Structure formats: C-alpha cells, structure tokens
Amino acid sequence: MYKTIRVNSESIENSKLYLVPTPIGNLEDMTLRAIKVLKQVDVILAEDTRTSGKLLKHYDIETPMLSHHMHNEHKMVNRIVDRILNGESFALISDAGTPAISDPGFLLTRACIEKGVEVECLPGATAFVPALVNSGFPNDKFIFEGFLPVKKGRQTRLKMLSEETRTLIFYESPHKLVKTLGHFESCFGEDRMVSVSRELTKLFEETRRGTLKDIKAHFTEHPPKGEIVIVLKGDSQK
C-alpha cells in the first residue's frame, strides 16, 4: 500500500458529470485530481464495482458506487441525468483507462450535453497513446479503430483501410490476436510493419515490432496474455 495522498480540499461542483480516467495497470498512474474528484462526488458510476472497489480501497475513497456498464447503460442514462439536474455530482469511471474509449460513457455524455448538464473530462491514462508513441511509427496523424467487428463487416472495414496512409490503431483480445494478424497479412501484405503492445504499464509489459509475418509467427509460438494494442504502419506507397 502506498502512503496516504493528500489532495486539495477545494470542493468540486455539484450538478455535473465528471469523466475520470483510471490506471490501465500501474496504480501509480492515478492523478491527484482524479483522486480528489472521486472522493468528493456524490456517486461513482463504475463499469465493474468489484474491479473499481480495489482501486477505491487503495486510495481510501469511500464514495458510494453504482454499476454502469454496456448491459444497463441504456436503462440508467435518464435516471442519472435527472439526479444530476437535481443537484448531485457523478463521476464515471471504467475498469481501466478513459471512459467512452471502447468502454461505456458515450451515451451518458451525450444525454448530459443534450439536457444542458455540464460535463468535464479529466486527462489521464488511455492504452492507445503510449502504444502509438512507443511504436516508432508516424504519430502526427493516426486513426483509432478500437475493436474491429467480430464477424460481419470485418473484411469490409479492412478493405476500406487497406490504402490508408495514416498510422492505424486497434484493440484486440489476446486469444484473437494471431487470427487478426492473419487478416491483416491478407489485407495489408505480410511485409507491412506492425507494433504490438501488451500489458502496458504492468510488470510484464511487452512491445514487439516487425513485419506482420514475423510478429504473427512470434505470437503463434508464444501465445500472448493481457490487453493488446496493435499499431499498424500506414500505406507508404501513397
């Protein structure tokens, strides 16, 4: 357990939604401002209260939580907005990273904006930024694709991206990585350069860089674990 962290005691605003990033692995990546907000809001909306409970306990945050995930967000949005309009303050967190980036958050944010509720997003951890910077590929312009369609629409989407000159970023689960790299080989060519990062900020963090052919061979022989970010170099022929 780390030493107790004292934060500015200045009160946050009521009738407001805060979007609060949480660490993607290393708990030391939590910001002082995020801790302050989570301690002072009335309610924390958490993707998984069990996962978030460990983080809150680590930083002595005792704010009550409500479960807010992809399976119930449609039902909860209007009730949450009404509570904020009635003077409560809410913070939305995901299991890891910035809310609404391949996680719940967009629907609630949009509903708040439509109803005139102020929304404030704190800066903080998100997995694709360190993976992009660490890849060594051009990062002045890039496309974040998140998770590709599982079946229907995947090949169509990849075909649309086949001549894209900007760096491409994808999220993928470890058990689908090799299959996805195979799809990339077929669409982009086996010599296209790729960087695969996994377990970012954690003890066994790893980044592998090389051609699609070589990186696919590596992970075929060494099945990966942990969260995966794939960074694909753009089409250099354009």
Tell me the domains of the chain and their CATH numbers: 16-121 (3.40.1010.10), 128-232 (3.30.950.10)
In a 3-state reduction of DSSP, which class is residue 118? strand
Yes or no: say if 169 and 233 are a contact pair by the CB < 8 Å rule: no
Per-residue pLDDT of the chain (238 residues; tens, 9 = 90+): 444 444 454 667 789 999 999 999 999 999 999 999 999 999 999 999 999 999 999 999 999 999 998 888 888 999 999 999 999 999 999 999 999 998 889 999 999 999 999 999 999 999 999 999 999 999 999 999 999 998 888 999 999 999 999 999 999 999 999 999 999 999 999 999 999 999 999 999 999 999 999 999 999 999 999 999 999 999 985 5
Q: What are the helix (H) ranges across the chain?
A: 32-40, 49-58, 73-85, 106-114, 128-135, 154-161, 177-188, 212-221
Q: Hey, which residues does 146 pair with through a beta bridge?
A: 170
